[in-house]
């Protein structure tokens, strides 16, 4: 009997021990499950959290472009997008929406217009910068103007001459607001001529419309550029001896000997100018020479009434005689 009671209590204690172990295991499993669920919720939140991104987009106009010409508006505007992170990133990358200003119900004159959008997802919030723009609407006009070539003649090398500049475009079409077109005084192809140019130039030149003060007029020019050729050739020339003369002598008793290794130079000018010249006059400043000196002297085209020389400078040795 005692042995039976002992076995019965032993089974009860053993059952209680296993029950406690099972309870602890179940509690631990539920805790881990709760933690896992909590972690998953955090990850999900991070994927759907809001963010803001700012970028620039082109601005388009809704306007009757056959009737009106619009100025004053920016080509691009900034947009500040706020919404789900993934959606904001996708929209910024694809820019699959339009920013525009509706001018369809406006007439001639200056107006302040609100910028609108078309195509943004409803889950996104947006703000344009600037929110409004100022535009000037004028009647559209198209005219034709003759084209002339403009360049700096001062950049042609001394002794060389430029011929007639030729452009592959004779007339251009100009479109713009009527008040701007009325300002136009000339339409020119601006040819860039490098300094001291000695050879012909063939280059593409930008076409500009200019007013009476040589300011650029805000119009659309078609075509926008022209291919221009400018022939540059040596002018009429001949070789002549140089004639050295002292300059700055204040005392009749002073005398100087002037010598140069250069005896002759090439002179450029018109046929009439060259026909009158038998030698090249070279004035040498001797006012500061006490005994002997060597100077680089620039040949004076105005003094000799010609276009230029080659070389343009010569070396002169000056010796005081008394």
Domains in the chain: ranges and CATH: 50-139 (2.170.120.30), 147-234 (2.170.120.40), 237-320 (2.170.120.40)
d(CA 122, CA 111): 29
| Token pair in block for residue 169 | 């475009």
pLDDT by residue, tens only, the chain of 322 residues: 444 444 555 556 556 655 566 566 545 444 444 444 444 433 444 446 889 999 999 999 999 988 999 988 999 999 999 999 999 999 999 999 999 999 999 999 999 999 999 999 999 999 999 999 999 999 999 999 999 999 999 998 877 888 889 899 999 999 999 889 999 999 999 999 999 898 889 999 999 999 999 999 999 999 999 999 998 877 788 899 999 999 887 676 788 899 999 999 988 888 888 999 999 999 999 888 888 999 999 999 899 998 888 888 899 999 988 7
pLDDT for position 64: 92
Give the list of residues 6+ apart from residue 235 with CB closer than 8 angstroms, or none.
159, 160, 161, 268, 269, 270, 307
pLDDT for position 279: 94
The model carries a pTM of 0.54
Among residues 257, 248, 266, the alpha carbon closest in space to that of 294 is found at: 257
pLDDT for position 9: 56
> What is the three-state SS of the chain?
CHHHHHHHHHHHHHHHHHHHHHHHHHHHHHHHHHHHHHHHHHHHHHHHCEEEEEEEEEEEEECCCCCEEEECCCCEEEEEEEEEHHHHHHHHHHCCCEEEEECCCCCCEEEEEEEEEECCCCCCEEEEECCEEEEEEEEEEEEEEECEEECCHHHECCCEEECCCEECCCEEEEEEEHHHHCCCCEEEEECCCCCCECCCEEEEEEEEEECCCCCECCCEEECCEEEEEECEEECCEEEEEEEEEEECCCCCCCCEEEECCCCEEEEECCHHHHHCCCCEEEEEECCCCCCEEEEEEECCHHHHCCCEEECCEEEEEEEECC
| Token pair in block for residue 307 | 């276009």
Give the list of residues 6+ apart from residue 171 with CB closer than 8 angstroms, or none.
144, 145, 146, 147
In the chain, the N- to C-terminal Cα span, in Å, equals 161
């Amino acid at each position: 009997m005692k042995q039976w009671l002992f076995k019965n209590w032993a089974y009860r204690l053993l059952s209680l021990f296993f029950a406690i172990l099972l309870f602890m295991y179940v509690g631990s499993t539920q805790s881990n499950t709760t933690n896992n669920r909590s972690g998953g919720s955090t990850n999900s939140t991070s994927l759907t959290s809001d963010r803001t991104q700012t970028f620039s987009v082109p601005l388009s106009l809704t306007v009757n472009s056959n009737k009106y010409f619009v100025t004053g508006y920016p080509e691009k505007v900034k947009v500040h997008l706020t919404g789900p992170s993934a959606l904001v990133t996708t929209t910024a990358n694809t820019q699959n929406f339009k920013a525009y200003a509706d001018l369809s119900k406006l007439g001639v004159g200056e107006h302040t217009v609100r910028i609108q959008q078309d195509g943004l997802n409803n889950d996104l919030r947006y703000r344009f910068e600037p929110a409004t723009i100022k535009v000037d609407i004028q009647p559209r006009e198209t005219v034709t103007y003759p084209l002339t070539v403009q360049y700096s003649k001062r950049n042609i090398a001394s002794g060389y001459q430029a011929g007639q500049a030729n452009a592959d475009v004779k007339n251009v079409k100009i479109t713009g607001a009527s008040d701007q077109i009325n300002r136009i005084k000339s339409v020119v192809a601006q040819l860039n001529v490098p300094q001291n140019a000695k050879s012909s130039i063939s280059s593409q030149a930008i076409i500009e419309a200019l007013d009476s003060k040589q300011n650029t007029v805000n119009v659309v020019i078609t075509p926008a550029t022209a291919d221009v050729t400018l022939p540059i050739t040596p002018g009429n020339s001949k070789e002549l001896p140089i004639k050295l003369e002292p300059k700055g002598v204040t005392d009749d008793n002073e005398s100087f000997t002037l010598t140069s290794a250069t005896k002759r130079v090439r002179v450029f000018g018109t046929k009439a100018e060259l026909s009158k010249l038998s030698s090249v006059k070279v004035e040498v400043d001797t006012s500061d020479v006490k005994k002997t000196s060597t100077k680089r002297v620039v040949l004076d085209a105005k003094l000799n009434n010609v276009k230029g020389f080659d070389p343009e400078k010569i070396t002169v040795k000056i010796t005081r005689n008394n």
